[in-house]
């Protein structure tokens, strides 16, 4: 029944998008295969999402065949017409040929393999003077388990005002606790990397998918509560906070400022987008301080040979790793080619008993923060010059937070009336970043020098998923939660 529903969905999408083809890749047990490569040409194509789906724009495909490959599965080439007739592609598992490959009974030594990986880094990877055409998707979640906000002291505020502001705060806290915020951000562009420090970003297109009625985050919840309180204060005065001075002139002025903020919300800061994209690529490359380089540091990690598998006709070692020293935090698997000793895939998660950054001054300052999720997958692609570069990066991070702080609004007047505001919030935040490299080329020096990076770029704000937005590009197929997403247009 699940297959039938998937096929009907696929056929419906195909009718809507015309020249786009959507299909699903599964194993022989009908389980979806995530991150499978779908090649439209020798060095181009797309990748399946976590549910096994992909979409390609047939107008960009010259061949009438697609080749499917994934770590641990035998590659398969299928005609586009056959895929149109049956939109579920089945891949068979790779047959373990360890006994045929090694004449001796000695198990390959994991430490020797990692040593060869390090010895071949310069030959296998080129980190600089590259231009990456990419598609980036950021999905953010915020779940508020507890939120309390109340005006406790209100000298100079009438009783009805005091009751009114607390009633409004109760309504706000109820909305926030029940919100379960989900936010999607997509953008496509070119990242021109000169070296580890110097890069320029050219964003071609960007979108935001969010429910405006549930657009809450840890950053703006306190601001929303403070803004609500300001509506009940004397708008002819200024008020001092520990964080500075907030001037309130009149309601019309506040409304104008809000309108300016809404206009500001329709642009992204290019510096932030570049930092995120360049940071993901940096950690997937082989700089001395990159995440990848730390994982293959024999001083930090222990390694264990697990098995062999295959990818595109190559024999691939599966090497497990776990922390050797206390400052090492991750455990997972490295997939390393037998021929070139290049890492072509990395799966990682926090090791047993490990956590990320944490800050606990709950009793002293009313703040606690713990990073409890940090996992992901990095997949590398073999280029025409036989070097390897990142093709797909999936990074998921999560944290628990607790903030309990009193805030005072002190009136800048002879009376110095004060409004005491208690703010407590507890919950969890999670984000998932996906970076898919659509094309890679050598950096054009003259174009790099001539290009002036913008400070801001506009984005298209959506309140529900629209499959036509990215149909011209071979982007990452969205998950079902994004396809089903439909928000309110209410601000």
27-79: per-residue pLDDT in tens?
Answer: 999 999 999 999 988 778 899 999 999 999 888 787 899 999 999 999 999 99
CB atoms within 10 A of CB 478: 22
Residues across the chain: 491
- Count Cβ atoms within 10 A of the Cβ of residue 368 and give its class: 0-12 exposed, 13-18 middle, 19 or more buried: middle
Given its phi and psi angles, is residue 46 left (phi above 0), alpha (psi -120 to 50 degrees) or beta? Answer: beta
- Whole-number Å distance between alpha carbons of 487 and 199: 36
Concatenating the DSSP letter of every residue in 336-394 gives EETTT--EEEEEEEEPTT----EEEETTTTSEEEEEEEEEEEEEEEE-TTS-EEEEEEE
pLDDT digits (tens, 9 = 90+) for 157-207: 778 888 888 888 887 777 777 777 788 999 999 999 999 899 999 999 999
Distance CA 71, CA 347 (A): 12
pTM of the model: 0.84
Average pLDDT over residues 425-430: 88
Structure tokens at 414: 């002879």
Look at residue 222 in the predicted model and tell me its pLDDT.
67
| pLDDT digits 0-9 by tens, 247-275 | 554 433 334 445 445 555 689 999 999 99
- pLDDT for the residue 241: 67
The per-residue pLDDT for range 198-248, each reduced to its tens digit, is: 999 999 999 999 876 666 665 667 677 777 777 777 767 777 765 444 555
């Amino acid at each position: 029944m699940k297959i039938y529903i998937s096929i009907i969905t696929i056929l419906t999408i195909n009718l809507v998008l015309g020249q786009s083809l959507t299909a699903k890749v599964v194993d022989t047990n009908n389980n979806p295969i995530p991150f499978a490569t779908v090649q439209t040409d020798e060095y181009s194509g797309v990748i399946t999402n976590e549910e096994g789906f992909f979409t390609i724009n047939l107008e960009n495909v010259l061949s009438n065949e697609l080749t499917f490959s994934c770590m641990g599965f035998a590659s398969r080439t299928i005609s586009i017409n056959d895929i149109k007739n049956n939109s579920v592609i089945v891949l068979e598992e790779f047959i373990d040929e360890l006994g045929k490959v090694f004449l001796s009974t000695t198990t390959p030594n994991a430490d020797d393999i990692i040593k060869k990986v390090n010895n071949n880094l310069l030959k296998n990877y080129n980190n600089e003077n590259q231009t990456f055409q990419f598609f980036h998707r950021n999905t953010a979640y915020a779940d508020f388990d507890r939120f309390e906000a109340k005006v406790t002291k209100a000298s100079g505020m009438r009783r009805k005002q005091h009751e009114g502001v607390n009633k409004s705060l109760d309504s706000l806290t109820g909305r926030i606790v029940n919100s379960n915020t989900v936010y999607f951000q997509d953008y496509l562009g070119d990242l021109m990397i000169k070296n580890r420090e110097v890069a320029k970003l050219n964003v071609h297109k960007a979108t935001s998918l969010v429910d405006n009625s549930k657009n809450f985050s840890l950053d703006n919840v306190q601001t929303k509560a403070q803004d609500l309180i300001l509506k009940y204060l004397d708008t002819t005065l200024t008020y001092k906070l520990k964080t500075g001075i907030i001037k309130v002139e009149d309601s019309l002025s506040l409304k104008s400022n809000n309108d300016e903020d809404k206009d500001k919300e329709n642009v992204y800061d290019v510096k932030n987008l570049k930092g995120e994209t360049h940071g993901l690529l940096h950690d997937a490359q082989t700089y001395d301080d990159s995440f990848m380089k730390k994982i293959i540091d024999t001083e930090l990690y222990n390694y264990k040979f697990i098995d062999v598998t295959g990818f595109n006709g190559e024999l691939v070692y599966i090497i497990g790793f776990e922390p050797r020293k206390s400052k090492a935090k991750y455990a997972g698997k490295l997939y390393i080619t037998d021929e070139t000793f290049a890492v072509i895939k990395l799966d990682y998660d926090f090791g047993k008993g490990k956590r990320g950054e944490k800050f606990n001054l709950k009793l002293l300052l009313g703040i606690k923060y713990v990073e409890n999720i940090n996992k992901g997958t990095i997949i590398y692609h073999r280029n025409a010059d036989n070097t390897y570069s990142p093709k797909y990066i999936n990074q998921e991070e999560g944290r628990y937070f607790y903030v309990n702080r009193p805030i005072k609004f002190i009136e800048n007047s002879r009376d110095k009336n004060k409004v005491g505001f208690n703010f407590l919030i507890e919950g969890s935040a999670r984000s998932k970043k996906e970076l898919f490299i659509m094309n890679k080329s050598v950096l054009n020096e003259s174009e790099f020098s001539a290009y002036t990076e913008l400070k801001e770029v506009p984005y298209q704000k959506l309140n529900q998923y629209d499959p036509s937005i990215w149909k011209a590009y071979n982007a990452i197929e969205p998950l079902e939660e994004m396809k089903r997403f439909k928000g309110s247009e209410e601000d």
